[in-house]
Amino acid sequence: MTSGTLITVAPTGAESAKADVPALPVTVEEVVATARDCQALGAAVVHLHVRDAQARPTLDLGYVGEVVAAVREATDLVVQLSTGGAVTDPFDARLAVLDAAPDAASLSLGTVNFGRDVFSNPWDLIVELHTQMQARGIVPEYEVFDLGHLATLERLLDRHGPPHGGHVHADLVMGVPGGMPGTAQALAACLPHLPQGATFAATGVGRTSLPVMLTALAAGGHLRVGMEDTLTYAPGEPVRDNAQLVARAAGLARIAQRPPLGPAEARSLLGIPRTSVEATP
């Protein structure tokens, strides 16, 4: 069991509108401020979705590169870009995000219903993301929305080799309407299917945040929290900001006697060197 807890903050996501959630960080300044606050409270990784000048989700490399550079400048956090984007994003644009040369990037392991939408991740896209990340020295975080996605991970590693850095880290994204439920039983069912030597984090969407977080800590796992996944702190109480969610996760990790890892410890766990290749201009 890993002694400390890796806390990832996913501050923005692609699903919520700024007009509906005024506290959502969408500008470069807001994202940087949130990233700084969350690092101070115990986050070591930031999972980024980027917004344009109208606060709409975008994969435009101009916007993406600007946020990556600004967060790197202001924090020591591991910068993990989403290659999932929004459900409407085309595959080529999702792949092109890797041109921004983040430290890490998410890699979703299968297609899943996403509320009324479909989050499409066919095998060829999975392989392309995996092999491009290997070639570019970007560390993947494998996103698992359902148990079958772990069978896909096993097949991927078997056919295409380990990720850059050699360490496999998966995030169980639980409670998406269409994916596996955010329950202790579902999390426990995933554990025997993780590759040997892999670490895992878990994310409980919406009201599954707390049960998933508590189960993950008990099982030796790591945590992802943030306004991408959770907008209600307690019944009837909207989340104030990302820092509030990171503070709660860090507090629970300390109670579990697995205190938050700092960014340097996170890099060593994930196999990420301190200085990654600079983004291509």
Contact set with ligand KMH (CB under 6 A): 13-15, 82-84, 86-87, 106, 108, 114, 119, 143
Give 54's contacts (C-beta < 8 A, 6+ positions apart).
Answer: none
Which two structure tokens, joined as six digits, stand for 263?
């960014």
Least distance in Å: CB of 28 to ligand KMH?
Answer: 19
Binding-site partner at residue 142 among Zn ion, ligand KMH, none, CB < 5 to 8 Å by type: none
Q: With respect to Zn ion, which residue has the nearer C-beta, 4 or 175? A: 175
Binding-site partner at residue 108 among Zn ion, ligand KMH, none, CB < 5 to 8 Å by type: ligand KMH
**Binding stretches for Zn ion (CB under 5 A):** 82
Binding-site partner at residue 86 among Zn ion, ligand KMH, none, CB < 5 to 8 Å by type: ligand KMH
Q: What is the DSSP letter of 73?
A: H
Q: With respect to ligand KMH, which residue has the nearer C-beta, 49 or 248? A: 49
Q: With respect to ligand KMH, which residue has the nearer C-beta, 4 or 132? A: 132
Give 151's contacts (C-beta < 8 A, 6+ positions apart).
Answer: 193
Which two structure tokens, joined as six digits, stand for 106?
């998410």
Give 43's contacts (C-beta < 8 A, 6+ positions apart).
Answer: 7, 8, 9, 35, 77, 246, 260
d(C-alpha 103, C-alpha 119), whole Å:
24
Least distance in Å: CB of 114 to ligand KMH?
Answer: 6
Q: With respect to ligand KMH, which residue has the nearer C-beta, 88 or 275? A: 88
Q: What is the dihedral of CA 165, 212, 106, 275, to 10 degrees?
A: -50
Least distance in Å: CB of 262 to ligand KMH?
Answer: 24
Least distance in Å: CB of 1 to ligand KMH?
Answer: 26
- Is there a contact between 12 and 63 (Cβ–Cβ < 8 Å)? no
Least distance in Å: CB of 176 to ligand KMH?
Answer: 8
